Homo-oligomer: A and B are copies of this chain.
């Protein structure tokens, strides 16, 4: 059934944080027709399908043992069209996000969501995960920018969801159901993304050395009260700064309180200077600003170079609860005497404490305790990395405590409705959350 389709056997892979992928077979489809064949084969043999873009997944989305691994990066990696009148980019899922943005930039456009892995990741992976990034504070995440999708359903039928239009009331919104569905509902084969003109206003990037993470959180609250909307608003602590200096020659000052990186339109600059007045800071633009942005983007890579044991947390709390969350994080750090460097999209309350610990079971325990801070403060266990295998139990807890058991049932009902064969990235995310909750 798979004749004519390129494949390899006996190949094992590892994702960015070390989760193991042990496929029965890796297939390299060249087009939608081949993907339909693969899905039909999977359904008939009840073999799980997992889709690989660039392997930058952070929550065990790709883990499998005996699956068909559908590698989109080899052939399904083209830009189909950039439409300069209708303002969309139409792409295949395996296209690299940085490459897409470079092509858009040439025409005066950009695609705002920028996961830190933008130079590695694929648009398909980031769509399936509804990824965020630094610009999220202003521009939101992938779900705010995906207009339409082409999908091969588990039953082998090809559908299109949405239209490449900003406005469309054509039935229930299924586009948003598939964005962030983590490969559990179907195989995305084409994506239409909304694009927007490059900003015309001058943007300045300020790199400020802060007194502490709390000090930075207080600054964020001050910015909110003054109704300043930054382009990006990031924090890295001293531990991350040291890793960046050591492993990537970043040349940052090793200031105990960490660094706050904020970009604003020029109209906001004076007010920002006023807010930051007692801290040491530099103001950058153009290439120098790009360099700061790129250093920040590589923070996780710098940490990863220090240890292969790294549990990447991704909690969100309401901005008004940032100080409480930080206090609770510090308590956990003290209690376990664990190294937990913090990278944060602090402007939208999205914190990434990274648990660096070789004792996996203790790391998992700490990981859960951190996630529970978010649940207790009315936040979310994931802002942008998703659930995958790793956070399914926490997802069940969050949904049951915040949303109600019925919500978990509806989500499971939707999975069963669309994938009754249970072949699409099974036993993860919503499905696993439901199983774990049901067992209780």
Contact = CB atoms under 8 A, between A and B. Distances in A.
Interface of A: 83-87, 108-109, 129-130, 132, 136-137, 140-141, 143-144, 153, 155, 157-161, 163-177, 179-181, 196-198, 200-201, 221, 224-225, 227-229, 267, 314, 316, 318-320, 345, 348-350, 378-387, 395, 398-399, 402-404, 406-408, 410-411, 413-415, 417-418, 429-430, 433
A167 B109 CA distance: 24
B157 A406 contact: yes
Contacts of A158: 404
A421 to B, nearest CB: 15
A384 B159 contact: no
A253 B8 CA distance: 71
B381 A171 contact: no
A201 B320 contact: no
Contacts of A410: 174, 417-418
A365 to B, nearest CB: 22
Contact of A136 (B161, B166, B411): B166
Contacts of A159: 403-404, 406-407
A318 B85 CA distance: 9
A143 B172 CA distance: 11
Q: Which of A314, A398, A404 has the most CB of B within 10 A?
A: A404
Given A132-B167, A414-B172, A320 B267 contact: no
A42 B181 CA distance: 33
B227 A382 contact: no
Contacts of A417: 410, 413-414, 417
Contact of A172 (B157, B171, B314, B411): B411
Given A166-B140, A166-B348, A379-B165, A171 B407 contact: yes
A57 to B, nearest CB: 13
A221 B413 contact: no
A318 B165 contact: yes
19 contacts: A85-B225, A86-B319, A141-B166, A144-B144, A155-B406, A159-B406, A161-B403, A165-B380, A165-B383, A167-B316, A168-B316, A169-B380, A170-B395, A171-B408, A174-B177, A174-B411, A176-B177, A198-B227, A200-B267
A316 B165 contact: yes
Nearest to A321: B86
A310 B122 CA distance: 49
A153 B406 contact: yes
B109 A227 contact: yes
Given A173-B180, A180-B173, A224-B84, A167 B404 contact: no
